[in-house]
Amino acid sequence: MTEFKKPKILNVQDIAKSKLFSIQSVDLEFSNGEKRVYERMRPAKREAVLIVPIIDEHLILIREYAVGIESYELGFPKGVIDPGEVALEAAQRELKEEIGYGAHNIIQLANLTMSPSYFSSKMNILIAQNLYVEKLEGDEPEPLQQVKWPIARMMELLDHPDFNEARNISALFYVERYLNNIK
């Protein structure tokens, strides 16, 4: 197999900025001399967490408005890791803010990238078990609807019309593998 040498970055320039995003133009020269200009989101400095909570043989999901698709999406609690936090601390906080539970047992299952040709974002996938009631005030604009889904039917979520986000689907497969390996 041919080993590729990483392209040389000739220039990086900010070309657009919003409140949430900054777009960069990146001039590259590949090892074969080919030059290209790519666009990407400015590399992220913070990672995020997506937590799959389990209570009483059920997954707990939330229904939350997703402005990108202008619809409500069914998925797992998630959020950005705050400065000074590690993934496990952020997962604990997000659980308390979004579903009103903390967890005695949180295990990291994976660290994923999302569309790495355009984003540098990393999403930590965690499973939370042995939950206990504890609520923190969150930053959501409206209450999040909770949906309990039986673990025995968790792969049926793939057929649910509101369960579409790739990160949630990936988390579902990681949780299935984890649960199968502990049996």
Dihedral of CA atoms 60, 127, 81, 157 in degrees, nearest 10, equals: -50
The mean pLDDT value of the chain amounts to 92
Among candidate residues 122, 120, 121, the one with its CA nearest the CA of residue 38: 120
Please tell me the predicted confidence (pLDDT) of residue 21: 79
Q: Within 10 A of 118 (CB to CB), how many other CB atoms are there?
A: 12
Question: How crowded is the C-beta side of 105, counted as CA atoms within 13 Å?
Answer: 4
Please tell me the predicted confidence (pLDDT) of residue 18: 87
What percent of the chain has pLDDT above 70?
A: 99
Tokens of 149: 């889904």
Return d(Cα 65, Cα 69) in angstroms, integer.
9
DSSP for 96-113, please give it: HHHTSEEEEEEEEEEEEE
More confident residue, 13 or 43: 13
Please tell me the predicted confidence (pLDDT) of residue 183: 67
Q: For 152-183, how does the pLDDT look when each residue is reduced to its tens digit (9 = 90+)?
A: 999 999 999 999 999 999 999 999 999 999 86
What percent of the chain has pLDDT above 90?
A: 72
Q: For 70-124, how does the pLDDT look when each residue is reduced to its tens digit (9 = 90+)?
A: 899 999 999 999 999 999 999 999 999 999 999 999 999 999 987 777 777 889 9
Instruction: Give the predicted TM-score (pTM) of the model.
Output: 0.86
Q: Within 10 A of 101 (CB to CB), how many other CB atoms are there?
A: 20
Cβ atoms of residues 102 and 131 within 8 Å: yes
Please tell me the predicted confidence (pLDDT) of residue 99: 96
Paired with 27 in beta bridges are: 11, 37
Amino acid at 147: V
Q: Within 10 A of 20 (CB to CB), how many other CB atoms are there?
A: 6
How, if at all, do strands 145-150 and 58-66 pair?
antiparallel
Return d(Cα 166, Cα 149) in angstroms, integer.
18
